[in-house]
Amino acid sequence: MSNLTAIPRVVISHAPTALEHMPQLSKVLNRNLYVKRDDCTGLAGGGNKTRKLEYLVAAAIAANADTLITVGGLQSNHARQTAAAAAKFGLHCELVLEDVKGTPKLDYYQNGNMLLDNILGAKIHQVPDDLDSNQYTDTLIKQLISEGKKPYLIPVGGSNEIGSLGYVQCAQEIVSQIKQQAVELDHIVLATGSAGTQAGLLAGLILAGIDIPVLGICVSRPAAEQVALVTALLERTLVLLGLDKNLAKGKVFANGDYYGEGYGIATQAMIEAVTLCAQHEGLILDPVYTGKGMAGMIDLCRNNTFPEGSNLLFVHTGGSQGLFAYQEIFNPS
């Protein structure tokens, strides 16, 4: 038993999302590869943040908020989904967005998620390069309060223990889908950034008493730092669920070999992974998260870390809207 059903939630996601076999990619890599289609959660293009927002928006409504604020990079998928959730629940949305050095320039400022944020009616604040986004956000919150607004701050990536609950839900879906489809998984693989997706998934598997290793492919920091971040959030999520935080011990695995020069900076392996999945499965990944996550899974198959015949589930966490900010990388003139 856990506290999950007692925690307020609004339903936004088109769930359960499909769990599909990838027959062509399986042939290419000689493994049985499956994909959990969380790119299809339904809100303004979908993605993993929609599940987190079900709990975060419920918490904002319970706090009587009229404005959602969140923070991220200019091409944040989380910001786009937060803007859409705000629109759906009649709330204002203020996005505090930072430029990311080393990313393509042509469309990064106006296309992809930025275009959608504008269409969704969010107010965008681009943090000046010499200012810290946390300080900027604190000042913005004070200003909104002085104007009579009731802001609710959603942390970067929606990654606190409330947001992670969305992936406790997703773990429950995966457990019931693999039972229904008689799939025995050896590993779950996903891209890990602000940590809430991996922490929530692990908490959900622990809650279900299922021991499938979950490997996070880092998109922004070395593995040891990512393991510490995910572990701390997993512990807090377990406590929120009324479980023992020590159940987190030995559960968190991350690989930091595939993020290249840094967050949002394209790698050759990402480009190969995005095109391979598109051309063998008709599956569109993204350049910042799932492209690098899939690049990791492909390489770990090729170097036999995942032995031939392994049954692997890749969690597609969305983000393909970001491709339109990277067209110069995929389509050089």
Q: Which active-site residues does the annotation give? A: 76
Preceding amide of 16 cis, omega within 30: yes
Stretch 105-144: interaction string toward ligand PLP, x if CB under 6 A: ----------------------------------------
Q: Pick from 12, 25, 46, 47 the residue near ligand PLP by CB under 6 A.
A: 47
Stretch that binds ligand PLP, among 58-66, 173-181, 242-250, 313-321 (CB under 6 A): 313-321
70 touches ligand PLP (CB under 6 A): no
Q: Which residue has the tokens 């393909």?
A: 320
Complete edge-to-edge strand list for the sheet that includes strand 32-37: 19-21, 32-37, 311-316, 187-192, 214-218, 252-255
73 vs 151, which CB is nearer to ligand PLP?
Answer: 73
Question: In terms of DSSP bridges, do strands 92-98 and 67-73 run parallel, antiparallel, or are they unpaired?
Answer: parallel
| CB-based closest residue to ligand PLP | 319
319 touches ligand PLP (CB under 6 A): yes
Q: What distance lies between CA 296 and its chain's CA centroid? A: 16
Q: Pick from 48, 111, 255, 310 the residue near ligand PLP by CB under 6 A.
A: 48
78 touches ligand PLP (CB under 6 A): yes
Does residue 143 contact residue 32 with C-beta atoms inside 8 Å?
A: no
Q: What distance lies between CA 96 and its chain's CA centroid? A: 18
Q: Give start and end residues of each alpha helix (H) in the chain.
A: 23-29, 49-62, 77-88, 112-119, 133-146, 161-180, 196-208, 223-240, 268-281, 290-302, 327-330
Stretch 174-213: interaction string toward ligand PLP, x if CB under 6 A: -----------------xxxxxxxx---------------
Site for ligand PLP in 240-279 (CB under 6 A): none
Q: Interface residues with ligand PLP (CB under 6 A)? A: 47-48, 77-78, 157, 159, 191-198, 286, 289-290, 317-319
